[in-house]
């Protein structure tokens, strides 16, 4: 207003008046639209939340009765839910290595948990996800389980790597499952009566909550891993109380479900725990209860992170990605684990929220895989492509427009030559021994009828098999483990 009065009283033809007029326009631009434009040009932050062993029982996916995830359900109302998201590998290490490195297991040779990131030349030499964001001006922060095996350059590419050790703890102090049930050491459960702070998940969440509440001078990439519902299924007792045994809805199991499958598939189903042994020991239902309790515990931890973001200084300029590294069977197909290529092992929750609530509550049914996350975030954040090739495919177009055309199938691998291909309707599995499975999910969501041997589906199999990799890298093995194996021989 002062400038306008000054200009009005001056000679409009004077040079000084013209200069002041230009200054007035510049000031108006700076304090008005210019500020908004500058805000638009800011790089978005990224909150990258990885959940461990969380299957598709979530209400907005399979929707198993009794699952209680109020925080994830509320978050879904603000995000895009990908209803056909699949892991690249159904085990922690290869799945996470592919996500972080951008290199597919069939190229890296990282297929199992004892195939180490650092022993794979393609994975080791790749520009990793945090490295690329750091190179492009981001402060990178990490807590919890994001990796399974620590890669080269870990500390270099994370500006802040504060983390509480003992992630799977506290381990069960009581023994409920008898020795008659052969199982891995972590396959146990307990309603925990101690403090919530006994859990590294709770302590790590406190670290990330403080980060999200603190203003930053540069964009950040915050990766936060939640250990639950990975076993041991210990969780505070109140979460067990939320899922009483007497009202528990058990997973659907079909008698003789494996009769139309190959010997390889039947062997996979029995590893590492026999469903029959759990049933005979009367432990199936308590273990399912413990898994449900662990899911609800995870949901509370997730809610702390999202509440801190939404109530803090970064609420309006942060992309949020939430996913599980793979799924998990709770008795379906006589399987009680990951380590397989069926729907429940490979289908994962994946939700992406853009700033300002764009496409809030939308659902996208385009098949995507977790290895696609790296290129997708590069596109969403407007970053240049990394110097090394990414094997994933950006689905940023689906985040921006969930109904956009998308005809790419999802591919999951479990060891060399064992591959599953999933489109919107079909799941095709081909094992290294040549045996096959084919399921029509429009008619058979539980995968109870293997159609692979029927003549009328030959063309379907031929079409889906085009997505199967044509070559498979030799597995890389942890040197120490390999040495121990030689000694035992």
**Which residues are the active-site residues?**
92, 148
Tell me the C-alpha distance between 295 and 307, whole Å: 18
How far is Cα 442 from Cα 421, in angstroms, rounded to an integer?
16
HSE (CB half, 13 Å, CA atoms) of 304?
Answer: 18
**What order of strands is seen across the sheet that includes strand 426-430?**
410-413, 419-422, 426-430, 436-440
Q: In 3D, which of 214, 230, 115 has the Cα closest to residue 162?
A: 214
Residues 463 and 291: their CA atoms lie apart, in Å, by 37
* Token pair belonging to 115: 């195939």
Nearest to 45 by CA among 383, 319, 353, 376: 319
Residues present in the chain in total: 489
Strand-pair partners of 431:
none
Give the residue carrying structure tokens 């434009």. Answer: 37
DSSP string, 226-265: E-TTSSSEEEEHHHHHTS-GGGPPPPP--TTTTTTS-HHH
Q: How far apart are CA 145 and CA 100, in angstroms?
A: 12
Cβ(320)–Cβ(83) below 8 Å: no
CA-closest candidate to residue 276, choices 337, 334, 345, 338: 334
Which helix H or strand E contains 211, and what residues bound it? helix 200-213
For the chain, what percentages of helix, strand and coil (3-state, to nearest 5) are there? 40, 15, 45
Q: What is the DSSP letter of 282?
A: T
List the helix and strand counts (H, then E) for the chain.
19, 15
């Amino acid at each position: 207003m002062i400038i306008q009065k000054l200009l009005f009283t001056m000679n409009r033809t004077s040079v000084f008046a013209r200069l002041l007029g230009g200054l007035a326009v510049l000031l108006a631009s700076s304090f008005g639209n210019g500020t908004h434009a500058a805000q638009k040009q800011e790089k978005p932050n990224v909150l990258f939340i990885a959940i461990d062993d969380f299957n598709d029982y979530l209400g907005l996916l399979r929707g198993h009765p009794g699952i209680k995830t109020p925080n994830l359900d509320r978050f879904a109302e603000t995000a895009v839910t990908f209803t056909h998201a699949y892991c690249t590998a159904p085990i922690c290490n290869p799945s996470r290595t592919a996500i972080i490195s951008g290199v597919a297991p069939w190229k890296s040779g990282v297929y199992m948990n004892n195939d180490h990131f650092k022993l794979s030349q393609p994975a080791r030499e790749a520009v990793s996800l945090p490295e690329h964001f750091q190179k492009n001006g981001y402060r990178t922060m990490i807590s919890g389980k994001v990796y399974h095996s620590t890669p080269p350059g870990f500390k270099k590419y994370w500006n802040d790597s504060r983390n509480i050790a003992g992630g799977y703890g506290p381990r069960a102090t009581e023994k409920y499952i008898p020795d008659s049930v052969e199982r891995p050491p972590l396959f146990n459960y307990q309603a925990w009566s101690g403090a919530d702070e006994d859990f590294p998940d709770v302590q790590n969440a406190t670290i990330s909550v403080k980060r999200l509440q603190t203003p930053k001078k540069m964009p950040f990439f915050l990766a936060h891993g939640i250990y639950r519902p990975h076993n041991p299924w210990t969780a505070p007792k109140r979460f067990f109380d939320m899922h009483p045994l007497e009202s528990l809805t058990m997973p659907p199991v079909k008698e003789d479900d494996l009769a139309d499958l190959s010997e390889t598939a039947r062997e996979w189903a029995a590893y590492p725990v026999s469903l029959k042994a759990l049933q005979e020991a009367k432990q199936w239902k308590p273990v399912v209860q413990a898994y449900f309790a662990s899911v609800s515990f995870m949901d509370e931890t997730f809610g702390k992170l999202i509440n801190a973001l939404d109530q803090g200084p970064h609420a309006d300029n942060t992309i949020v990605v939430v996913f599980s590294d793979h799924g998990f069977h709770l008795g379906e197909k006589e399987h009680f684990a990951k380590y397989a290529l069926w729907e429940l092992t490979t289908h994962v929750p994946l939700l992406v929220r853009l700033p300002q609530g764009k496409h809030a509550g939308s659902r996208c049914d385009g098949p995507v895989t977790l290895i696609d996350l790296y290129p997708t975030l590069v596109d969403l954040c407007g970053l240049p492509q990394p110097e090394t090739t990414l094997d994933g495919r950006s689905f940023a177009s689906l985040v921006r427009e969930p109904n956009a055309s998308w005809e790419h199938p999802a591919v999951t691998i479990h060891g060399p030559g064992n591959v599953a291909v999933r489109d919107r309707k079909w799941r095709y599995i081909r094992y290294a021994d040549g045996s096959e499975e084919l399921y029509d999910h429009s008619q058979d969501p539980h995968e109870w009828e293997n159609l692979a041997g029927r003549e009328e589906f030959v063309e379907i199999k031929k079409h889906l098999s085009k997505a199967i990799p044509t070559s498979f890298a030799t597995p890389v093995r942890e040197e120490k483990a390999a040495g121990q194996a030689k000694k035992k021989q």
